[in-house]
A and B are shown apart, each in its own frame.
Chain A
Amino acid sequence: MQTDTIIQIENVHKHFGKVHALRGIDLNVGRGEVIVIIGPSGSGKSTLLRCINRLEEFDQGSIVVDGIPLDSAENINAVRTEVGMVFQQFNLFPHLSVLDNITLAQRIIRKRDKKEAHEIAMELLHKVGIPDKADCYPLQLSGGQQQRVAIARALAMNPKIMLFDEPTSALDPEMIQEVLDVMLALAKEGMTMVVVSHEMGFARAAADRAILMDDGLIVEQATPKVLFSQPKEERTKAFLSKVLS
């Protein structure tokens, strides 16, 4: 699996004022690998994810994505077009129809013409199972449908990596599975994914590696099966006992 590395994170530190949110993170993600990051709130897992496409600046260390170091503004935009991100709160553009949400960035960044962008958008809407909602506005959709549109919007840019920041945490329970199904299908297709989520079922089914973060550090990493059933660290055991119960 670890044939070549697509994300290289070395000794990344991040402060929010006095809070030391990331305290030296080292992580390599292989091409096609699916990683699930778990950990208590405030452990820095979302911050780490947001550092990968530089929505959050880090103070020290380096991150290289697909050979592009995150240093200059130019490189950051280049990396962002290769990295799709899905947010907890969906963040769809409420003033645009579902179709326009998916075609906007394609047209202004990938410079695709209207017809091509439209076709790609419809194809992706079929893939996420809601082609009939193309002309709806985001706020007319359920949370699960909105999140699936958000995934389609990110995929329309043909990203090499997809980041998911607690994609199901804001959803009603009955809508979680429809989003996880889309993510599972994506993982099967070989997409490189970094997922911050406490969905253990998804982690078991799709992840190559599970990582537990606490207090700005990576505490333990292993295959999901090993991490969830035979954790070595006390902090992992304590956290899992709370989440699994």
Chain B
Amino acid sequence: MQKTPELEETPKRENGFHKKFKDIDQWWLLVAIVVLLIILLVTTKPDPYNRILKFVGDGIWVTLYTTMISFVLVLVLGLFGGLGRTSHNTIIRGIASVYVEVVRGVPLLVQLIIWYFAFPAMVKDLGHAWNIQAFIDYKANPIVMAILGMTVCYAAYMSEVYRAGIESIPKGQMEAARSLGMTYFQAMGHVILPQAIRVILPPIGNEFVTLLKDSSLVSVVAVADLTRRGREFMAANFIPIQTWMMVALLYLVMTLVAARVVKWLEKHSRYER
């Protein structure tokens, strides 16, 4: 009974300014603040901030496209992993499980180093052993290896996300689809996955943001991403505070925007429940 007045008041607060404020999603405000901060720094103190931005600018693109290409591949490879993990076939499930467990147990940094340094050495050794000139001449492309390394690693995490999504759909859905005569893949494609994707959209978004941040690790395998460009600038100019503040702010803009996009997707993919 005591609560009643409060309950009546709540809708009133939703009106006017507060409601409008809520509609535009307060987190966009944070994005705007960070962007403004960068613009402010660059315009009011072009030396060093504009110089830093110009220097690391190409690194932003490298970070963005390696992350995006990896993520598209992660979505595909992870789907196969997820289907494998939920398969009734023991061999397929075994292979998928070993892949997931092994890859999840090794740090991404170590995996990237393996892809860039150990893998080409292995190819060369094989080339010598089998006398194949193409293998002996093999030179790893840093960006390709970085994308490969991130894809293989994150697809393992993504497999688990897909698995959780598929398992969250009641068994009756698959049974109903199969009882109508659909094959396993038809049922997956038309009935199970469309529902599972909606469930796992938030964790998929999280994976993207995490991948974006972890992509800074590719700087150790000769990819000129944002982090590496920041290190190069610092090595030449000795202004660590300003350099890394700028780099951090640039990462922050990217991750905040990505998180907003995911939220927006979530909102627009709901169906009547």
Contacts and interface: CB of A to CB of B under 8 A. Distances in A.
Interface stretch (A35-43, A80-88, A172-180, A182-190): A80-88
Chain B interface size band reads: 20 to 34
B50 interface: no
B271 A53 contact: no
A69 interface: no
Given A91-B172, A94-B271, A139-B273, A53 B179 contact: yes
The DSSP consensus for interface residues of chain B is helix
Contacts of B179: 53, 55, 80, 83-85, 154
B173 A80 contact: no
Contacts of A87: 172, 175-176
Interface string B248-269: 0000000000000000000000
B16 interface: no
Contact of A89 (B172, B177, B182, B272): B172
Chain A interface size band reads: 20 to 34
B180 A157 contact: yes
A85 B179 CA distance: 6
Contacts, number: 69
A154 B178 CA distance: 11
Given A89-B172, A137-B272, A95 B194 contact: yes
Interface in B189-228: 190-191, 194-195, 198
Interface string B150-173: 000000000000000000001011
* Chain B CB within 10 Å, residue with most, of A84, A105, A140: A105
A60 interface: no
Nearest to B179: A85
Interface of B: 170, 172-173, 175-183, 186, 190-191, 194-195, 198, 271-273
